[in-house]
Chain A
Amino acid sequence: MSGSLRTQVGQLAHRSILRTLRQPAQIVPSLVFPLFLLAVNAGGLKDATNLPGFPTDSYITFILAVPFIQGALFSVMNSGTDLARDIETGFLNRLALTPLRGAALLSGLLAGAFVLGVVQAIVYLSVGLLAGADLAAGVGGALVIVLLSVSITVAFGTIGLFAALRFGSGEAVQGLFPVFFVFLFLSAMALPLDLLTTDWFHTIASINPVTYLLQAFRSLLIEGWNVGDLALGFGIAAAIGTLGMLAASSALKTRLVRT
């Protein structure tokens, strides 16, 4: 990376991080909402561990994977809404007049998502462990969980950037939230894939990448080290991030041409 590009990314990253940290409305819901659902699901579905074939006798260990994905969904909203606001207020137009590179803009804007991802991962994992969840992979596993969580959060953040650049409106970005929740709910979120007894639901969950992101977290929490599950989780995060960045870059070019 050239010195100029590094400076540009650094400036935008600094702005993105400050902007995220100064908005409790972005941080608080992304911490409180997933933890509330964690508490409700862990209490309400505890008996699921009595089902033959359930992989653990601790439901909170099983369901602890979910907040990491819910938190990442919030990053779609946060990164997208911030960029949409820049578009709506004309800030992006002003940036377009500078020699700023597109790659710098997009990378810098994801810095806020990165920081939020780290905070979320540490909070979710700490609360989960305090509530009695197991962590079969030990301390090293905790670090990998944080890394995986941040990777997914940043990857989902690129989708928010794409949506903001494509639609140019914060309202449109907010409208994506329920769409992404569909992916979460139609996955092996509450029960393992093998215990999804409804055929069509099992089929959808089998092809839903969120199932395998959850499985990557669960492998560390329940089994220990499962290289295959981890590779799949990181691979899916990388694929989403790459596709999101390509789509966002293309949308940025289109938007700047329009401008």
Chain B
Amino acid sequence: MSAPGTAEPRTATMSTVGRAVAWRSIHNFLTNPAFLIPSLLFPLFFFVSFAGGLAAIGEVPGFDFPSGYTAFQFVFVLLQSAAFGGVFTGFAMARDFETGFGRRYMLAASHRSGIVLGYGLAALFRAFVTWTVLTAVALIAGMDVGGSAGEIVALYALAILVNVAATMWAAGVALRVRSIQGGPLMQFPTFLILFLAPVYVPLDLLTGWIHTVASINPVTALLEAGRGFISGDPVLVGLAFAIGIALSLLFAFWARGGLRSAEAAG
């Protein structure tokens, strides 16, 4: 209890901490071309090279995606940019801890989970910026969208789940390693799991070891559901959302463990 006449110091709530951390991270993202440009260019570059350079794959016997190869690749690049938006935010987090700014966050924040929340909000913002540009380019390039408005919303909802899961994964690594040297550890597994899914052709057309790996890769269900949404023929919807939510929760626990590790390190 405070003494009479003495004001109780105001304690920041988790959302206040989250908003403050997010604001700084978003400000850094928008004002530093070294962060902004790769975030926008990488997905566009993948989209252009896959949808443009591999268009003939759409004519392979057995490839019967109704919305065409551009839409087929758009879904992969959308989910990839969602994942890498999270990974790039993990880089920012690691850099903040390496330079000592993260420790100042830890000292100042009354609810330290708010720090992770803030970076998560910033990651979502980054992803929204990228998706806006990517979607505009895809539509200008003549992408055929067969899905209804609700199905397109569901596609972006899936992408949000991927972004959250990837951010929590990267945050867990960043908080444990607390150095940008942990970058490859955030990036490589993400890259690996994405490219071991049916990236270029549907699962049915894959053969051999890659078919086996892709069949058990959780990203496959996310991709197939996303492609179903954009073509107006939803498949694996329940499974994809269950996987998205489960991965987000799993990696949120992983990030919480990282936070405890950072707290213990002082």
Decide yes or no whether B135 CB sits under 8 A from chain A: no
Q: Given the complex, which residues of A lie within 8 Å of B211, measured CB to CB? A: 43
Given A48-B57, A51-B60, the answer on whether A178 and B38 have CB atoms closer than 8 Å is: yes
- Contact for B62 among A29, A47, A190, CB less than 8 A: A47
Instruction: Map CB proximity to A onto B25-56 as digits: 1 under 8 Å, 0 otherwise.
Output: 00000000010001001100110110111111
Decide yes or no whether A259 CB sits under 8 A from chain B: no
**CB-CB nearest in chain B for A42:** B210
Given A36-B192, A40-B199, A40-B210, the answer on whether A201 and B52 have CB atoms closer than 8 Å is: yes
Nearest CB in chain A: distance from B164 CB, A: 26
Stretch from B14-22, B89-97, B108-116, B201-209 at the A interface: B201-209
Contacting A at CB under 8 A, from B40-93, are 41-42, 45-46, 48-49, 51-57, 59-63
A190 to B60, CA, bound (A): 14
Contact B45 A182 (CB under 8 A): yes
A16 to B192, CA, bound (A): 32
Decide yes or no whether A96 CB sits under 8 A from chain B: no
- Contact for B205 among A47, A201, A205, CB less than 8 A: A47
Q: Given the complex, which residues of A lie within 8 Å of B55, measured CB to CB? A: 196-198, 201
A190 to B55, CA, bound (A): 11
Q: Given the complex, which residues of B lie within 8 Å of A190, measured CB to CB? A: 53-54
How many chain-B residues does the 8 Å CB contact rule pick out?
A: 35
A233 to B52, CA, bound (A): 25
**CB-CB nearest in chain A for B208:** A43
Given A46-B207, A51-B59, A178-B42, the answer on whether A198 and B53 have CB atoms closer than 8 Å is: yes
Decide yes or no whether A50 CB sits under 8 A from chain B: yes
Decide yes or no whether A123 CB sits under 8 A from chain B: no
**CB-CB nearest in chain A for B210:** A43
Contact B56 A51 (CB under 8 A): yes
**CB-CB nearest in chain B for A182:** B45
Nearest CB in chain A: distance from B76 CB, A: 11
Q: Given the complex, which residues of B lie within 8 Å of A167, measured CB to CB? A: none
Q: Given the complex, which residues of B lie within 8 Å of A198, measured CB to CB? A: 51-53, 55
Q: Given the complex, which residues of B lie within 8 Å of A45, measured CB to CB? A: 54, 57, 200-201
A196 to B201, CA, bound (A): 17
Contact A44 B198 (CB under 8 A): yes
- Contact for B199 among A44, A185, A196, CB less than 8 A: A44
Instruction: Map CB proximity to A onto B182-221 as digits: 1 under 8 Å, 0 otherwise.
Output: 0010000000100110111100011111110000000000
Residue of B42, B49, B195 with most partner-chain A CB within 10 A? B49
14 pairs, CB–CB < 8 Å, chain A vs chain B: A43-B206, A43-B211, A45-B200, A46-B207, A48-B57, A175-B34, A178-B38, A178-B45, A186-B48, A191-B57, A195-B56, A196-B52, A200-B52, A201-B55
Apart from A43-B209, A198-B53: 18 A-B pairs, beta carbons within 8 A: A39-B210, A41-B200, A44-B200, A44-B206, A44-B210, A46-B207, A47-B57, A47-B61, A48-B57, A51-B60, A178-B41, A185-B49, A186-B49, A186-B53, A190-B54, A195-B56, A197-B59, A200-B52
**Partner-A contacts on B (CB < 8 A):** 34, 38, 41-42, 45-46, 48-49, 51-57, 59-63, 184, 192, 195-196, 198-201, 205-211
